[in-house]
């Protein structure tokens, strides 16, 4: 082999990516979500006006991969902070939040519902990995029925701790929401759909229409106490059975 002459670049890194090493665990898909968001930002040419807002959780570390101005907030409070930034720049900034399931679906549920209901022109990237990863694998609002976690050691029992929260469908039911989808990144076909969904969610903000929301189904091998491949297959089977992929809302005007 003569080397360089025969090597062809088939996939480059996005312009918007910051090549900081992410402290994510083996088998975690959060870095793939970051790449997907970076590609969407590149495609839309919005890097110079994009500002990222993160809550507390593994998703917050992931934002370090996106080369834009960022701000970290208290747990669950990103939609309010994002509102302040959006209003500070009179709508000119393209503001997105990164939030996990505990951050958005539990402690910050009221914050996001009210931001969407106000019809804020914001975009939320929601990392659903069915539990709290950062604190060691506790039950979260999107933990599925029967799932064993460190705080549901006998499996999540709906009679005792309720039901898995379907955020993408809930967001779609609000009038201030312009776009809502749930996406997977488990294969190339789904990845292409995810990139398209993130672009659509940003486009609703750029066109000043309304809130854009994209839920990513992710893995958490250490939190789930599974090996990376087992975690990947469990996500494809158990999580995708509970959480249907699809576009739940896509409108050009909120009314």
Partner 1 sequence: MDEKVLLTGNIAAAEGALYAGCRHYFGYPITPQSDVVEYFSAKLPQMGGEFVQSESECTSINMLYGAAACGIRAMTSTSSPGFSLMQEGISHIAAAELPCVIMHVQRGGPGSGSTQTAQMDYNQVVKGGGHGEYRLIVLAPDSVQEIFDFVQLGFYLAEKYRNPALVLTDAIIGQMKEDVELRTIDFGPTPEDRSWALKIHRSPKGKSANVHSAVGIVGIYNEWLARTNEKYENIKRDEVRFQSMFMEDAELAIVAYGSSGRAAKGACKLAREEGLKVGVLRPITLWPFPQPQIEELASRVKKILVVEDNLGQMVEDVRGAVEGRAEVHFMGVFSRHMPDCNGMIFPDTILEEVKKLL
Give the span between the Cα atoms of 92 and 135, in whole angstroms. 36
Quote the least distance from Cβ 161 to partner 1, whole Å: 24
Tell me if residue 23 falls in helix, strand or coil: coil
Quote the least distance from Cβ 111 to partner 1, whole Å: 6
Residue 205 tokens read as 């903000």
Beta carbon nearer to partner 1, 118 or 226: 118
Binding site for partner 1 (CB under 8 A): 15-16, 18, 47-49, 51, 53, 67-74, 77, 80-90, 92-93, 110-111, 114, 118
Beta carbon nearer to partner 1, 80 or 102: 80
In b/e form, how buried is each residue of 218-245, taking b as 16+ CB within 10 angstroms? bbbbbbbebeeeebbebbbebbbebbeb
Quote the least distance from Cβ 206 to partner 1, whole Å: 13
Give the span between the Cα atoms of 16 and 18, in whole angstroms. 7
The angle subtended at Cα 107 by Cα 52 and Cα 37, nearest 5°, is 25
Quote the least distance from Cβ 49 to partner 1, whole Å: 5
Beta carbon nearer to partner 1, 82 or 235: 82
Taking the CA of residue 37 as centre, how many other CA atoms within 13 Å lie in the half-sphere pointing to its CB?
34
Beta carbon nearer to partner 1, 25 or 71: 71
């Amino acid at each position: 082999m003569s080397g360089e002459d025969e090597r062809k670049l088939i996939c480059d890194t996005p312009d918007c990516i910051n090549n900081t090493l992410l402290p994510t665990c083996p088998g975690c898909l959060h870095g793939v979500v970051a790449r997907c968001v970076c590609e969407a930002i590149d495609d839309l040419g919005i890097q110079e006006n994009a500002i990222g807002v993160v809550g507390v959780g593994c998703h917050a570390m992931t934002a370090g991969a996106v080369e834009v101005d960022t701000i970290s907030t208290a747990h669950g409070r990103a939609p309010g902070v994002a509102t302040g930034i959006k209003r500070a720049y009179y709508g000119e900034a393209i503001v997105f939040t990164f939030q996990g399931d505990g951050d958005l679906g539990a402690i910050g549920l009221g914050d996001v519902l009210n931001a969407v209901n106000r019809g804020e022109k914001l975009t939320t990237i929601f990392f659903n990995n069915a539990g709290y990863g950062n604190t060691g694998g506790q039950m979260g609002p999107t933990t599925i029925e029967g799932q064993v976690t460190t705080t549901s050691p006998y499996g999540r029992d709906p009679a005792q701790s309720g039901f898995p929260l379907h955020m993408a469908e809930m967001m779609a039911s609000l009038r201030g929401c312009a776009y809502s989808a749930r996406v997977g990144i488990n294969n190339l076909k789904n990845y292409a759909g995810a990139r398209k969904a993130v672009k659509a969610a940003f486009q609703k903000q750029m066109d000043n229409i309304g809130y854009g929301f994209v839920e990513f189904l992710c893995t958490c091998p250490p939190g789930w106490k599974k090996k990376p491949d087992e975690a990947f297959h469990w996500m494809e089977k158990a999580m995708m059975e509970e959480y249907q992929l699809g576009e739940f809302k896509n409108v050009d005007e909120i009314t």
